[in-house]
Amino acid sequence: MAPLVGGDIRRGTEIQAAVLHSCNDARTYPRLITLPGPNEIQITIRAVGLGSLGIEPYLKENTRVSEPSTLGHQATGVVTCVGDGVEGFQIGDAVAIEAGVPCRVCAKCREGRYDVCRDPKLRGSIKSYPAFRGAFQASINHPAASCHKLPAKISLEMGSLLEPLAVAIHAKEEAHLEPTDSILIIGASTIGLSCAAVCIASGSKDVMIADNLKNRIGFAVDHGFAKDGMTMLPCGGTALRDQLPFARRLAERATQLKRDPTGFNVVFECTGTEVNAQAAIYAAREGGEVIFVGNNHHKKRLPNRLVAMLGTFGQASSYEAAIDLITCSERLPDLRKLITHRHHGLASVLPAVQMAAKTKDEKGNVVLKVVIILDPNKGTRWRHRMSTLSLG
């Protein structure tokens, strides 16, 4: 095992962490980190992208934590220590961290479907008990099997986009896409835009994206994430008698813009709202497919149509495919454009979360992916090999 830099092996080493106590109560103070255990590597965190898992607990007034928690799950960093039994990693490697850690022993894991693992652990989730600390801290120990080496072409900052890209790849693989298929993406968030990017990289030329935010639609079309865009108006009621006609009208507008009343071959629903799920089903042509991406739809009231419906949550073995897509694809839109705002240091976690919850900043610019950079030089790209390594 490589030596830990600084600290006392018996008690651990102090590192700084941004710790959530309750809504809008994030405190930065020291915590202890020990040597990595068997089959683990220790990683000094360099960049963390903000997703809903790391945003909502900070801002929801009813947030309750079983114990003070460190969130953050779309992370990259540099290996600083290697545990016993680890092969393929060495000090100085730049890595992306797969936050979901499957049990690897249940039937689904053995099938390779660890997205439906029976006993997963999710780093940076307040629902994990005991707490599985997230990446809003200087260093973490993580299973080597859930880490992925970054090639020189992918910066540590850009590596924070691998998680949503892997989710999108997993969703695309569940669909039966053909290059000539017409595709509708509902929701122009980072997940929705990643789904659009994956479809385009696969050869799709007929991609439309719909969102209730005009600036996101403009971003998607201007930067090559979609051929066409449609602005959606919010539904005025929650009663089913209001929602279903509204959803049908949304779908009709989309098919009119497409100039094909039969509907879309494949619809990716990326918002999780009930009315948008209904609209997705209406927008698909008979015999088409609707993929509900990364959201829980099992309690939603949905219309009955002759379409295939499938839900996905997370991803399974898609990180390496995401790395290959970024490094090799000539069709992939420029994912770097998705990172619209950067904050620096653990003390900026709460302001970064508040920014990520907005749709535009004080200058009127669109807000998509917010990344927290923990590099002391505050750069957006770092060397993957470092001559001096430190935990502090």
What mean pLDDT is predicted for residues 147-159?
Answer: 97
Angle between helices 162-174 and 190-201 (to 10 degrees): 60
**b/e string for 357-376 if b means 16 or more Cβ within 10 A?**
eeeeeeeeebbbbbbbbbbe
Q: Is the dihedral of CA 376, 335, 80, 343 positive or negative?
A: positive
Band of pLDDT at residue 380, cut at 50, 70 and 90: very low
> From CA 154, how far away is CA 108, in angstroms rounded?
31
Tens-digit pLDDT profile for residues 291-321: 999 866 556 889 999 999 999 988 888 999 9
Tens-digit pLDDT profile for residues 209-221: 999 999 999 999 9
**b/e string for 302-321 if b means 16 or more Cβ within 10 A?**
bbeeebebebbbbbbebbeb
Angle between helices 52-59 and 349-356 (to 10 degrees): 100
Distances (CA, A) of 337 to 193, 201, 369: 11, 16, 9
Q: What is the pLDDT at residue 256? A: 95
Band of pLDDT at residue 382, cut at 50, 70 and 90: very low
Kindly tell me if the per-residue pLDDT of 131 is higher than 80: no
Beta bridge partners of 183: 207, 266
Band of pLDDT at residue 55, cut at 50, 70 and 90: confident
User: When comparing pLDDT for 295 and 231, which is higher?
Assistant: 231
Q: Of the candidates 31, 25, 38, 40, which has an alpha carbon nearest to the alpha carbon of residue 13?
A: 31
Sheet strands (E) in 108-213: 121-122, 139-143, 147-149, 182-186, 206-211
Q: Rounded to a whole number, what is the distance in angstroms from the first to the last CA of the chain?
A: 20
Separate counts of helices (H) and strands (E) for the chain = 9, 17
Kindly tell me if the per-residue pLDDT of 204 is higher than 50: yes
Kindly tell me if the per-residue pLDDT of 234 is higher than 90: no
Residue 347: CB atoms within 10 Å? 13
Kindly tell me if the per-residue pLDDT of 194 is higher than 70: yes
β-strands 264-269, 284-293: how paired? parallel
What mean pLDDT is predicted for residues 267-292?
Answer: 95
Read off the pTM: 0.90
Tokens (6 digits) for 142: 């993580």
H/E segment holding residue 189? none
> From CA 143, how far away is CA 176, in angstroms rounded?
33
Q: What is the pLDDT at residue 122? A: 86
How much of the chain, in percent, has pLDDT values that exceed 90? 71
Q: What is the pLDDT at residue 146? A: 95
Q: What is the pLDDT at residue 8? A: 44
Tens-digit pLDDT profile for residues 16-31: 999 988 887 889 999 9
Kindly tell me if the per-residue pLDDT of 233 is higher than 90: no
Q: Of the candidates 329, 297, 326, which has an alpha carbon nearest to the alpha carbon of residue 313?
A: 297
Q: What is the pLDDT at residue 389? A: 33
> From CA 112, how far away is CA 265, in angstroms rounded?
28
Helix (H, G, I), strand (E, B) or coil at 364: coil
Q: What is the pLDDT at residue 295? A: 62
Tell me, rounded to whole angstroms, the distance of Cα 163 from its chain centroid.
4
Residue 340: CB atoms within 10 Å? 18
Residue partners of 258: CB distance under 8 A and separation at least 6: 182, 184, 206, 208, 228, 264
> From CA 389, how far away is CA 5, in angstroms rounded?
7
What mean pLDDT is predicted for residues 177-181?
Answer: 93
Q: What are the phi and psi torsion angles at 202 (to 5°)?
A: -85, 0
In the block, tokens 């990180």 appear at 319
Angle between helices 240-258 and 274-283 (to 10 degrees): 40
209 within 8 A of 222, measured Cβ to Cβ: no
Helix (H, G, I), strand (E, B) or coil at 243: helix
Tokens (6 digits) for 339: 């990172």
Amino acid at 342: R
Q: What is the pLDDT at residue 67? A: 77
> From CA 290, how far away is CA 299, in angstroms rounded?
16
Q: What is the CA radius of gyration of the chain?
A: 21
What mean pLDDT is predicted for residues 41-70?
Answer: 83
Band of pLDDT at residue 130, cut at 50, 70 and 90: low
